[in-house]
Amino acid sequence: MKNRICDMLGIEFPILAFTHCRDVAAAVTKAGGMGVLGAEALTPAQLDIDLAWIKEQVGDKPFGVDLIVPAKYEGKAEGEVTASQLRDRIPQAHRDFLEDLLNRYDVPPPLGESRRDASRGDAPPMSYSLASHMMEIAFGHPIKLLVNALGTPPSDMVQRAHDQGILVGALAGKAVHAQRHVAAGVDLIIAQGGEAGGHTGEIGTMVLVPEVVDAVAPVPVLAAGGIGGGRQLAAALALGADGVWCGSVWLTTDEAETHPTVKQKFLAATSSDTVRSRSKTGKPARQLKSAWTEEWEGPNSPGTLPMPLQPLLVGAAEERIARGAHDPASGSAKLANYFVGQIVGSMNEPKPAARVVMDMVEEFIEAVQRVESMME
């Protein structure tokens, strides 16, 4: 395949894989797509190790990094308050609700300080202060693409990336968001429909992609949300996109580091088994339905807190849940979930990441040939 995205990124297939797993990122890059490693789930030290490892695995083939630098979050207007200061703003009612929830589901007690909290020092999660540190690490490696997953990238992020010959991408859930990104100097737009896993808006991919393509032309666009096979790739290109950005489909691959209990839930899930919930980050993010999402939406819930107060509240609890969820019959397993899109209904067979890429390409060819046959 050959188009603008392939030429820009130096890849064989216009398939970009967002993943928190370095093995998946490397496998997709080696298969002819492009792996983009999500930094939010990693400690700064681990990001450095993982990027060096990916480079060793893929050689001169391209790979990228995805950060979360939200445009709006609690404390930003005050000049980046510390995590300690933000924790003081968490109402006692929310602390009590969470502790009661964990007790009712027999979640194991903490083993000590949260690993992620310890690695961040006093930088709030999903904040510019933390992302800037991760950015420094990313710039120390030969990445081809730097993506901001939530909002318009800050000007210094764009400038520094361009100074080093690194392309910049950003996700958009509305055409107006995409236009803001382009005005800020972004090189490619990821139009993410509401079917997608993680932070996403309400507009469906089929409607959103052509709106964004028209709004930002001639800037190239990747389609995201509900894409897990070649038919969706063909549809994305027909809608005017130059490629696809996939995240959920890699979560059940052989290489994925998805929690075993959650992976089994994904394999058994239907496309109706996800929900947009603020219960993990404070912003609407599509994830698997579980007792966790139901409890936060229930009548006894105090409601969720804005980003980054919600992740500060629940981060250590999620680590405890993950530890207890290895017993599939436990209360922790009932709570356990993860970000995933509606394509989860098609993710019913574990397979190597490279096979996912090749299956997507083969199905794409079949879809194109089917349409061509109708023109005879």
Domain holding 137: CATH number? 3.20.20.70
**The pLDDT value given to residue 121:** 62
Mean pLDDT, residues 236-261: 98
Confidence bin at 246 (pLDDT 50/70/90): very high
C-alpha distances out from residue 54 to 26, 37, 58, 159, 258, Å:
6, 9, 6, 25, 19
The per-residue pLDDT for range 322-348, each reduced to its tens digit, is 999 999 999 999 999 999 999 999 999
Which one is predicted more confidently, 211 or 124? Answer: 211
* Predicted confidence (pLDDT) at residue 1 exceeds the cutoff of 90: no
C-alpha distances out from residue 348 to 266, 269, 351, 354, 357, Å:
7, 8, 10, 16, 16
**Across the chain, which distance is largest between two alpha carbons, in Å?**
68
Confidence bin at 177 (pLDDT 50/70/90): very high
Residue tagged 């681990």 (tokens): 46
Cβ burial, residue 220 (10 Å; 0-12/13-18/19+)? buried
Mean pLDDT, residues 142-153: 94
C-alpha distances out from residue 37 to 22, 308, 349, Å:
6, 22, 23
**The pLDDT value given to residue 317:** 97
Confidence bin at 74 (pLDDT 50/70/90): low
Confidence bin at 82 (pLDDT 50/70/90): confident
Task: Point out the least confidently predicted range of 14-28, 70-84, 290-304, 352-366.
Answer: 70-84
**The pLDDT value given to residue 118:** 54
| Mean of the per-residue pLDDT values of the chain | 94
- Token couple for 89: 């703003």
**The pLDDT value given to residue 298:** 96
- Token couple for 197: 């896993």
**The pLDDT value given to residue 75:** 63
* Predicted confidence (pLDDT) at residue 286 exceeds the cutoff of 70: yes
Task: Output phi, psi for 18, to 5 deg.
Answer: -85, 130
* Predicted confidence (pLDDT) at residue 11 exceeds the cutoff of 70: yes
Domain that holds residue 302: 4-373
The per-residue pLDDT for range 259-271, each reduced to its tens digit, is 999 999 999 999 9
Number of domains in the chain: 1
Is residue 110 within 8 Å of 320, Cβ to Cβ? yes
**The pLDDT value given to residue 80:** 66
**The pLDDT value given to residue 81:** 78
Mean pLDDT, residues 349-361: 98
- Token couple for 376: 């005879």
d(Cα 305, Cα 220) in Å, to the nearest integer?
35
d(Cα 119, Cα 311) in Å, to the nearest integer?
15
**The pLDDT value given to residue 114:** 62
Mean pLDDT, residues 207-225: 98
**The pLDDT value given to residue 78:** 62
d(Cα 254, Cα 192) in Å, to the nearest integer?
25
Question: Among residues 18, 70, 19, which one has the least CA distance to residue 223?
Answer: 18
Task: Point out the least confidently predicted range of 44-48, 117-121, 303-307.
Answer: 117-121
d(Cα 343, Cα 156) in Å, to the nearest integer?
35
**The pLDDT value given to residue 343:** 98
